[in-house]
Each structure stands twice: as C-alpha cells, then as structure tokens.
Structure 1
Amino acid sequence: MQLESIQTFVVANPPPSFGGRYFVFVKLRTRCGIEGIGEAYTATFGPQVVAAMAEDLFARVFQGEDPMQTETLWRRAYGEGFSLRPDISLMGVLSALEMACWDITGKALEQPVYKLLGGLVNPRLRSYTYLYPDPGEDESFYGDPDRSAARAVRYVEEGFTAVKFDPVGGYSVFDPRQPTLERMDMSERFCARIREAVGDKADLLFGTHGQFTVSGAKRLARRLERYDPLWFEEPTPPERPEAMAEVARYTCIPVATGERLCTKYEFARVLETGAASILQPNLGRVGGILEAKKIAGMAEAHYAQIAPHLYCGPVVAAANIQLAACIPNFLILESIQQFGGFHAQLLKKPLQWEGGYVIPSKEPGLGVELNEAVALAHPYDSTRLHLDMAQHPLGYY
C-alpha cells in the first residue's frame, strides 16, 4: 500500500462544547482506496494552522509511503528539521497521522488495532466522566458543591463508578502559586459532599491543572486525604517531574499526570522520578498509538497504571479505547459523559457505552467512521484556542 492523499477537518464543537471548542481531524487515503482517520489534540496554535501542519508533514514524510511502516514514519517525522526531541505541536499532528495509519492497517488486515498490538486484554473498559452541568445551567455549577454532589449521584445511577471534578479555580500563565484558603475550603467541601452523596459506590478523581507550588499542593493534599480520592491530578506544572515527585512522596493520594506530556521520553522522567503512579497520555498528543503502547510498557515495569486522557473529540476517544483494550495495566478511561451528543453525531456509529463501561469495537481499524457531512456542516471560524489560561496572576492579589 501507498499513502496518496490527506484531507483535514476543523470542526466547531457546538455548545455546551464538552471536550473543547473544536476538533481537528485528518483523513488519509491510500492509492488502493483504503481510508483512515485520526485526530490531533494540540492547543499552541490555531486549528487552521494545525491542519496546515498536518498537510505539510504528510507531504514531506508520509505521502507515497506504506502506512504499515509506522515506526519508520514516526522516526522520520520526529527528526524533521534536525529536532529529535519532544515537541508538543509536532506530536499533535504526528499523533493524528499515525492514528490514521493504524486505522488503515487494521482495515487492510480486517482486524481491530488492539488485535495488532497484543490482542484483547480488557473486554470492558471502566470509564469516568467530569461532573458537567445540564443544558441551560450556567458556569456557577462548577463552583457549587451541592449541585455537583447531586450530579454525581445521577451519574452513579447511570452506572459510572468514578467522577472527576476540579474546584480549585482557574489556571494562569503565571502559575504555580499557593492555593487560597477559600479555594482549599471549597475543595474540601466538594470532596465531603460528593463522598457523602455517593458513599463507596464511586471513586473521586480530584483534578487540578498544575496550578500549585510543591508546598501549596501538599497543603491541599493534606485536606483531601480523609476523603480517599483515587487520584490527585497534575498538582504541579508539567515541566519538572522532580517537583511533582515531592508531592507524590508526601501524600497517600495517588498522583496522576500526563495530559500535557508527549513521547516516551517525557513519561520516562515521570516514572524515573516517581512523580506519578497513574499516567494519563492523550493519544492525540502523546505521539500516537504505538508510542502510547510503549509508554504503557514502561509503566508496567514500574507498577504504574494507565488512564487515557480525553478532552477532545471521538476519534481520539476511539484510539484511547484501542490502547486500553490491549494493555494489562489499564486503570480507567475518560469519557465525555456517555459519548452522546455531538461526539455521537460525528460518528456514523457511536462508541458503545454500557452501564459505566466502554465496550471495545470488533470492527477493523479504530472501529469508528467519521460522519463527514456533520463535520463539514460545523466549520470552526473563531480565533480562540481549544482552551485558555488566564493572562494575569491568580490567587492573592
């Protein structure tokens, strides 16, 4: 087989926009007519620029090549421009292209990707969701522990056995900082209300976004330990895993991290320093499916577990499922509620979610097909990025 062409889709995610403001998809086609899809999770540049990057990388490295040569294509892309180092923008577009190559390979061999990466280990994948407001509710929901606890109960009744929330406040380009007393009190109230509401029927996943200094994260962790969260997510910024390791050694709450990391090399530092025992690679950023499989192998040797991250579209979700299905150290999968709404509309056949678990598809490749009519009907024309950080210091000011 030879790769012949690429088509990109920059898709606006309509309100309530769970999963981000937009999704960037690619479709690769071989000369023999097999098509594969991928998705880039990258936030540094506008999505139209990201789509152009994917087209450029395809033309220079992938066009005319065999899509089954994923290792060779990955290495050539990784070294483009005399780089050979983790680059979050390159890894976003490379992840999308690599993902599409695996989709093509699976279709050509008439096998799901997980069968090509060791076979099915986990026939059901435990999933969790953020606590999201109902349609029509305003942003005040995210600061209300009582409404969040009620929503947690409803998710548990649907079948979820874990819920995530992040009441510590905004994140800034000037982080890390000390948490305010008000936000620490609110965080403790969230944990208390939700634990009281769900009892032992669901794990609590405490999310942060690298806002805090080591000492600040320790102060917050000390308050949360009595509620036994399953994890404390990204308590310090991602640049220095050595600093995050200080938090991990201090608290009995497992530390989770990885949504802003890419390649085996950055995750190796996390494991070597003991910064986290739960790794959260996003397959639209980390370097693709095979790179994530390598990271899972390294984690296995450190008795660390994998909880694939998702705050993007359904194609990355499908890739996350392929990885989770074939690794022995899978912990839990992030979902956007039950993968309904616009995530389901973007696929010809939605992802299968049953009673708190995602069921890996038996279809070849990634197991999903992009509904191109829906994607083309929702072009993204804003200049805003996928996510925003505050442009001024937060906290005591």
Structure 2
Amino acid sequence: MRLMDLDVIVTAPPAPGWGGRYWILVKVTTDTGITGWGECYASTIGPEAMTHVIRDVFERHFFGENPENIERLFRKVYSSGFTQRPDLTVMGAFSGLEIACWDILGKHCERPVWALLGGLMNEKLRAYTYLYPLPHHAMSEFWTSPEMAAETAAAMVEKGYTAVKFDPAGPYTMRGGHMPAMSDITMSATFCKAIREAVGDRADLLFGTHGQFNTAGAIRLGQALEPYSPLWFEEPTPPDNIEDMARVARNVRIPVATGERMATKAEFGAVLRAGAAEILQPALGRAGGIWEMKKVAAMAEAFNAQMAPHLYAGPVEWAANIHLAASIPNLLMIETIETDFHNDLIKGAIRVDNGFVIPPETPGLGIEVDEDLARAHPYTGKDLHLQMQDAPCDYANGNSFQGGAPAPAD
C-alpha cells in the first residue's frame, strides 16, 4: 500500500466561526483506493501559502511511501533541510498528513485508530467547552460580562459538562508578555467568582490567558484567582520562555497548563523537565500528529503530568484528539466545540453526550467527511486562522478579548 494522491480543502465555518476563520483539511489516497482525512492546524502563514507547503511536504516525503512507516515519515520531515528542530509550519503540514495516514491504516485494518495505539484505555472521555455567547446574548457585550458568562456556564453544566473554559484577562496582543491592568485582574476575579457561584462544585473552572503576560504579571493575576480554585491556569506567559512559565508554576497555587502553540516531544519535554506545567495541551494538527503526541503522553506519565488535547479547529483534528485520548492512561479531558458546522462536516459521526465523548468503534478516525459541504464554504478572507492585535494593553479604558476569531457576519 502506497500513498499516491493528495487534495487540500480550505473551508471556512459560517459566522460566528467558532474554531477559527478556516480549517485546512487534507485528503490522502492510496494506490489501493483507501482515503484518509487529516487536518493541519493554524499556521504562521496564510492558507494559500500553507497549501503549497503541505503539497511540498507530501510530494517530497510522503508520495509513494507506505503509510505504516509513521516513524520514518516523521524523521524525514523533522530532519528536512538540515533542521532537526521544531518548525510550526512544517510540523503543521506533517501533522495533518500523519493523521490521514492513521485514518488510512485504521480503515485498512478495519479497526479504529485507538486500537492501533495500544487499545482502549478510556471508554468515555471527559469533555470541556469554552464559554460562547448564548443566542440571546449581545456578542459585543458578552466578553466583558461576568453575568452572561455565568449564565452560559450554568447552561453548559445543565448539558452535562463538568468543566468550562473562559479568558477575560486582557488583550490578545502581538507585543509579548505585559503587566496586566489592575482592571483586568479585577475583571478576571469577578468572572471566576460569578461562574463559581453559578456552577458551584458541579464543574471545574479552566482559566485561559493565551500567553499574554510577563512573569510577574502572570503571578499577580494567578494569585488573585486562587480563592476560586480553577483547575488550570492556561499558558500564563508566552511559550518561548519555558523557565519563566516555571517561575509562575512555582508561585501560583493553580496547576499550569500549556501546549497549544508547541510542537514535538522536544518542546513538551523541555516543559516537563523545567516543571513549567502539569497539564499538557497539544493541538494534534500542529504538534506532530498522533504518534508523536502518544510519545509525549508517555513522557508526561513519567512526570505525573496529565494530557488535555486542545481544540480550536475543525472536527477532523477533534477526531484525532479523541483517538489519542482513548488510548492513554493520563488523560485529564478533551476540548470540544459544538456547532452545527462541526457536526455536519463529519455527518454527526461523533458527538458529545452529557459532557462525555464515546470513542468510535468504526474503522479509522470513525468519521465521514462531507466533502461537498467543505468545498461549499471556501475561505476568501485575508486574515490568518487566529489574528493577534497590534494595539498594546489599554491601562486607562480596559480591555476585551473577543473570543478567538469569529467570522464576520454576512
């Protein structure tokens, strides 16, 4: 069995676009006619340029190769061009193609991917959701309203979720770590208080920051949140200085989580050695794919750390997360995004049921991609999957993080 053909589809979820402005899906076909699907997570370049990168990686390293040779394929790509170090763009291309190989192998063996990763460890997977506006909420007001966030949190707990994530802490800025405004610290503590009062002990609070703060600022913010006992303090400092994140972990009594912007065992290993985080959040469409993150899970197990696969993408990456999560002993939970478009794109093959996901028993990733639907929603914008703002922290008028990258309304 050999890998012979590649198609790349860039699809844009309809407004409000939860999961990013676009998703890059790859369709790989073998000489035996088996098709596998993967997803390349947000890259540092636009989708048109990324499509060329994906094609180059496929033609240079995957074409004509046996999809069973996952380890060999990883080493070829990781070492290409005399690198042998993490490269987010190339690893993003590799990750989507690698996920497609696992889909092919599962279909070839007529077994779900988790069965090829050591078998089923977890019969159901605890899921968490980000807090998005309810239909009656004013979106422009939601992101700075503790009351609306608490209302959404209570609604998600009624659906069965036992953990909810939110991030009211300030601007999503390209300027690197900054000291939070006192108003941002107050807003964050108020969000935690309101949500904790709304859900009680029925759900964990997951506090996100997207690497916005410098070390001292992250410590100040984290200590202000301690009375509400969040389960994690996500990416409190930028991911480019692991020792600084370790300083935060030593000074805040909330477990630190990180990994959304990291790639390969090299970066995750450094996090574990430094004691910078106890919860790892790989995005499988960027971090190196399923097999590389299976290795990271084993490394984390040796450090008594847990895995919580990240998702701000489409349902193909989510399916990959589910199979990894089903196979590892140190799973904490998985992120989910419930929209009609996510569901329809995989024809409802996998769902969240009362706050948990049941790993599929069907071959491969266990999904059927609606290719016509994906092609009917092409991305025509110019922005990246996620877009960081130029403006710095506003210490006079307050800040608002607008919940990722919602697509513009028609």
Contact 2:192/2:228 (8 A) holds in 1: yes
Contact 2:103 2:364 in 1 (8 A): yes
Larger deviation, residues 287-296 vs 349-358: 349-358
Q: CA deviation at 1:218?
A: 0.8
Q: Within 5 A, what are the aligned runs for 1:1-397?
A: 1-135=1-135, 137-336=138-337, 339-396=338-395
Between the two proteins, the alignment pairs up a number of residues equal to 395
The amino acid across from 1:385 in the alignment is L
Task: Give the structure, 1 or 2, with the largest relative contact order (CA under 8 Å, sep 6 or more).
Answer: 2
Distance 1:302 1:156 in 2: 31
Matched AA of 1:390? Q
Equivalent-residue separation in structure 1 for 2:206 and 2:372 (angstroms): 36
Cα pair 1:177 1:395 within 8 Å, conserved: no
Partner Cα separation in structure 1 for residue 363 and residue 258 of structure 2: 31
Structure 1 residue 394, shift from structure 2 partner? 1.7
Amino acid in the other structure paired with 1:9? I
Partner Cα distance (1:188, 1:324) in 2: 31
Give the secondary-structure state (helix, strand or coil) at the position aligned to 2:310: coil
Partner of 2:406: none
Does the 8 A contact of 2:223 with 2:253 survive in 1? no
2:403 corresponds to? none
What is the root-mean-square deviation in Å for CA atoms of aligned residues? 1.0
Shift of 1:351: 1.5
For the residues of structure 1 that align with 2:230 and 2:164, how far apart are their CA atoms? 10
One-letter code aligned to 2:223: R
Paired letter, 1:63: F
**Matched residues in 2 for 1:368 and 1:127: separation?**
18
Contact 2:171 2:392 in 1 (8 A): no
Cα pair 1:106 1:364 within 8 Å, conserved:
yes
Q: What code does the residue aligned with 1:364 have?
A: P
Q: Secondary structure at the residue paired with 2:23?
A: strand
* Distance across 2 between alignment mates of 1:383 and 1:43: 14
User: How many angstroms does 1:174 deviate by?
Assistant: 1.0
SS in 1 for 2:389: coil
Alignment partners' CA distance in 2, 1:352 and 1:13: 18
State the AA in 1 paired with 2:34. Answer: I
Q: Which amino acid in 2 is paired with 1:282? A: A
Query: Would you say the 8 A contact 1:178–1:395 is kept in 2?
Result: no
Is this contact kept in 1: 2:173–2:389, CA < 8 A? Answer: yes
AA in 2 matched with 1:371: D
1:26 is displaced (CA, Å) by 0.3
Partners of 2:170 and 2:143 in 1: how far apart?
Answer: 9
- Deviation string, structure 1 residues 61-106 (Cα, Å, up to 9, x no partner): 1111101111101111111111111000001010000000010011
1:181-210 per-position Cα deviation (integer Å, ceiling 9, x unaligned): 101000010000000110000000000011
Q: 1:347 deviation in Å?
A: 1.1
TM-score after normalising by structure 2: 0.95
Question: Identity across aligned pairs (percent)?
Answer: 54
Q: Which consecutive unaligned segments of at least 5 residues does structure 2 have?
A: 397-410
CA distance in 2, matches of 1:280, 1:130: 14
SS at match of 2:39: strand
Q: Which AA in structure 2 matches 1:211? A: Q
- d(CA) in 1 for partners of 2:220 and 2:378? 44
